[in-house]
Amino acid sequence: MLRPNDTKGKLIVVEGIDGSGKSTQIDLLYKWLLSKGYSVYFSEWNSSALVKSTTKVAKKTHAFTPATFSILHCTDFADRWENSIYPLLKAGVIVLADRYAFTAFARDVARANDPLWVREMYSFAIMPDAALYFRVPLDIAVERITGSRAQLKYYEAGMDLALSDNYEESFKLFQGKILNEYDKMVDEFGLTMIDGTLPVKDQQKKVRSLIRRILVGFEGLPNPDKQGIAVDNPQARKKGKKGGK
């Protein structure tokens, strides 16, 4: 369903439910690859400036249906794909993505969209060279999120699915459905599973060893200044290297 990588670059993505620790891991990976002298670009889910005004209003007014939620998230992805991810891969950059098409396959299907329809929508994208799935049991992830973060948001908690009137309860049920979809994709797409309950350092060790193997013989675009890349991403430009949360 995803095309093979036809570029000189390498695409590495991290996936997992909220609270799986994937963002921490990709941040460490980003810094490590940069220090090694690679050209690296970081792209975050739901971060296209072009689509943001639309999604922001819809989230606030709860105007999404499962279908429009799905299509607009793909629009966001397509904008990043066409303007940065794909051209940079062609140039020989290592692109790191915090969430990729698999997030849509999990979330949109948890919202009861047709699985095949969602997969075909993303078929313009390529299969990553590494798709790392950080797996944590549901209760641990939920504990991490509800314990540390501010109030859950409407769509984040899956309130649109009417699973429960209670945000925390709904979040738990929704994440359970997403986790189930992720688990099914391990075989379907050959996701590499990493135990997200291990200490951060141990996980990163596994990640680096995996990526080292993928980069054997890879030259890529030179990066003599060891600087990050900011393309059409005002947030990244502001921070000098990577996109914000």
Which residues contact other proteins by CB under 8 A?
50-51, 53-54, 57-58, 63-68, 71-72, 74-75, 78-79, 81-83, 111-114, 116-117, 120-121, 123-124, 232
d(CA 10, CA 19): 26
Q: By C-beta, is 51 or 211 nearer to other proteins?
A: 51
* Least distance between other proteins and beta carbon 13 (Å): 19
* Least distance between other proteins and beta carbon 83 (Å): 6
Q: By C-beta, is 114 or 143 nearer to other proteins?
A: 114
Q: By C-beta, is 124 or 154 nearer to other proteins?
A: 124
d(CA 179, CA 240): 34
d(CA 242, CA 226): 13
Q: Are 242 and 42 in contact, with CB atoms under 8 Å apart? A: yes
Other C-beta atoms lying within 10 Å of the C-beta of residue 196: 23
* Least distance between other proteins and beta carbon 18 (Å): 22
* Least distance between other proteins and beta carbon 15 (Å): 21
Q: By C-beta, is 25 or 113 nearer to other proteins?
A: 113
* Least distance between other proteins and beta carbon 82 (Å): 3
Q: By C-beta, is 30 or 81 nearer to other proteins?
A: 81
* Least distance between other proteins and beta carbon 99 (Å): 17
Q: By C-beta, is 125 or 152 nearer to other proteins?
A: 125
